[in-house]
Amino acid sequence: MTTTARLLTRRIAVAAMLLPLMVATSGCMAPTPTASPSTGIPKAAPPTNQTPTNQTPTTQAPITRASAASRADTSKVTALPPMKVFYGAGPMARPRIANADLARDFIDLSFRLESGREMPVFTRFEGPIRVGLTGNVPPGMARELDNVIGRLRREAGIDIARLPMGQTGNITINAVPGDRIRRELPAAACFVVPGISRLSEYRSARRSARTDWTRLKERDQIAIFVPSDAAPQEMRDCLHEELAQSLGPLNDLYRLAGSTFNDDNIQSVLTGYDMMILRITYAPELHSGMTRKAVAARLPGVLARVNPDGGFVPPRVMAETPVEWIRALSQALGPDGSPASRLRGAERAVVIAESKGWNDHRTAFANYVLGRLLQVRDPKRAEAALSRAHSLFGQHPETRIHAAHTAVQLAAHAISRGDSARALALLKGQDAIAERYQNAVLLANIKMLRAEAQDLAGQTAAARASRLDSLGWARYGFGPDAAVEARLRDVAALAPRGG
């Protein structure tokens, strides 16, 4: 059995590696390494969150500036403002991509699992798709599900709708406590399985042919298990990514910067590229049971219709991502490795990327991970790696959201030195990008860091407004009030001692 899951160790994914001491809050899909011997390379986990300041993660120096109470004393907070939520479709813009690249991506996504196992035939749902929502459904989950289903209808052209609450559909989303998910798959935050509808069926079916994606001839019954007690953003991200995999590709490719079908987990919600891939998946020219060769033969006609401008766009011809680079990055991000082992993995990933001459998001991501792992051990080298990542991410429009992540890390370094001007310059405009890509964790951190930098600059009123504005987004991104308040304390602890 091959289970496609979102690993608990990546619950915040890259978004969770934003700042020191951050708790995990949202992440991405992956086959769990414990699900089956056939799963292959395990999904990477984020490096340990460490502070880039002169303080240790367990000892926070007192803040002595006059504004300290407004910045860090959350015991005086009697009530947080209401949670903010995203409205609208998110990053819907259709990518400008060559049909040659799109065809290659589609074949690689559709005929291989993340483990590396080949899919013998193409599979999808045939006919209308009805989605059931059952279990301990928390407030907001139905709204989030309706939002993504609406996008799938409009942008991917899929005949999909939600059934009345509690009914079982072609796809059944089960909202269950996180500990029940971890009882079945200790490393998973959420997961998707074919051939069943309920979690109670999973244990007896997990080794059977009906739950093996490679043995399917057509998709007709799929269950998604989402934690009912997770932060709203994590719950939403699970819905987007697991629903996308239940409908379409089961693979992730590091070369796809503007997609949720990427192990770097930068994208929080389905992108315009993802919708295009799903539109191709449900093109009338294709059907379940087709071989790789048969699908490849039909793709030129499908792409000419779905992406008419793609015939006039030069191919990017991005090099394949070698297995040794993926393994090195998995070592760097793995939850079980020692700090030294993780660092060796990150260094190896950077060396491989640079030796290949890549000047793309893969080299940037390797440097980003290296910078995160070096935060305490070697802050100067960490900042250099993050700066390299930030420069590369900033070179292409589709990696603006990636650059927002590195900007946050670099701003934290600047604040730890007391350099408010540098921090404010790095953060300028990043909140608009985070909001466009609907990442509340990132958005809240940007606003909290801006408030800290404004305090350092003596802009007390502006800092108070920025901090207050961050809290509604923090409630969506982090969940419980205690987590929001802890985040405020962590950001306040970045500042240098004394005034």
**Domains identified in the chain and CATH numbers:** 99-312 (3.40.390.10)
**What CA–CA distance (Å, rounded) separates 332 from 385?**
15
The pairs formed by 60-66 with CB atoms below 8 angstroms and a separation of 24 or more are: 60/489, 60/493, 61/493, 61/497, 62/497, 63/492, 63/493, 63/495, 63/497, 64/497, 64/498, 64/499, 65/455, 65/495, 65/498, 65/499, 66/499
For the chain, residues with pLDDT lower than 50 are: 8-70, 74-78, 499
pLDDT at 115: 85
**What CA–CA distance (Å, rounded) separates 107 from 293?**
9
Within 10 angstroms of residue 461's Cβ, the number of other Cβ atoms is: 8
**Tokens in use for 44?**
């990477």
**Pairing state of beta strands 29-31 and 4-7?**
antiparallel
pLDDT at 90: 62
pLDDT at 4: 66
**Tokens in use for 328?**
């090195």
Distances (CA, A) of 118 to 109, 112, 113, 213, 250: 10, 4, 6, 10, 11
Rg (CA), the chain: 22
